[in-house]
A and B are shown apart, each in its own frame.
Chain A
Amino acid sequence: MSVFPYLMAGWILLVGIYGLATSRNLIQAVGCLSVAQSATYVLLLAVGYRRGATAPVFSDLPVGAPVVDPVVQALALTDVVVGATVTAVLLALVIQLRKRHGTVDPERLTGLRG
Chain B
Amino acid sequence: MADTYLDLVNSGLGKQVASKLGLPEPTKLRRYRAGSDFPEGSVLVLGKGQAADAAAQAMLDWNLDVRRHAQEVDRVGAVVIDYTDAKTPSDLGKAALELSSVLRKLRSGGRVITLSRPAAGIGTGAASGTPADTAAQEPAVAAARQGVVGLLRSAAQEMRGGTTANGILIADGVAADAPSVVGALRFFLSGRSAFVDGQFLTVTDERGESTENWDQPVAGKVAVVTGAARGIGAQIARTLAQAGARVIVVDVPAAGEALTKLANELHISALQLDVTDPKAGEKILNLASERYGKLDLLVHNAGITRDKMLANMDQAKWDSVIAVNIESQLRITQAVLDSDKLGEHPRIVCLASTSGVAGNRGQTNYAASKAGVIGAVAATASLIAEKGGTINAVAPGFIESEMTAKIPAARRQISRRLNSLQQGGLPEDVAQTITFLLSDAAGGINGQTLRVCGQNLVGA
Partners in one complex: no
